[in-house]
Amino acid sequence: MQLLDVFVYLGIVAAGISGALIGIKKHMDLFGVICLCIATSLGGGIVRDLLVGYVPPVAFIEPSYFFVSLTAGILTWIFYHKIDRIGYLILISDAIGLGVFTAVGSNTAISLYDNEPFLVVSMGLITGIGGGVLRDLFAQEIPYVFRKEIYAIASILGSISLILTYDLFPHMISLYICLGVTFSLRMVSVIYKLNFPVLASEKK
């Protein structure tokens, strides 16, 4: 197993935990929590595969992804009160997940359409943030990516770094660079509380 595979599973677990936590806080039952967990973990990759013509999506071909996500959801349900206290660890894992999913999505696209940089960035972004967007929509929330810190931009710049380095280094190195850029930008935005400006509407 390559280091990237380890990161993929870590990303699935982190995304699954975040989805399960939202489901629990929204007072969903166990089935709802697990569904939200799996949608968060695998949703972005499924959407990406459908868009680039990978049918059936990899998530259905690799059942281990599903079972890892399922396990994360069940364990979050059981140990909710302990997990909810270690938000900083989940935040770091989530940043790793964003980097991994961005790298995997960008690599999938560039391996099929190496002369379409816009498509590569779009698929990296969709894979990186798609699960989180689905999670928030299912939970009837404004998607986190639209209202909090630098998230999507980290994914976009990570994808661009992969494109720029793809022909300069071995492809696996480009994947790690993409992961590192995305993760670093995400963590810097959290540490320094960097946000896009929000226009304050007048109260009536």
pLDDT tens, position by position, for the chain (204 residues)? 577 788 889 889 988 988 998 899 899 999 999 999 999 999 999 999 999 888 899 999 999 999 999 999 999 999 998 876 776 777 887 788 899 899 999 999 999 898 999 999 999 999 999 998 999 999 998 887 887 678 899 999 999 999 999 999 998 999 999 999 999 999 999 888 888 777 776 655
- DSSP conformation class of 148: S
Q: Which pLDDT score, from 0 to 100, does residue 203 have? A: 57
Evaluate whether 43 touches 128 at the Cβ level (below 8 Å).
no
Q: Which pLDDT score, from 0 to 100, does residue 83 have? A: 79
- Residue-range domain boundaries for the chain: 3-191
Looking up tokens 């992969």 gives: 162
And the tokens for 28?
A: 């969903």
Whole-prediction pTM value?
A: 0.89
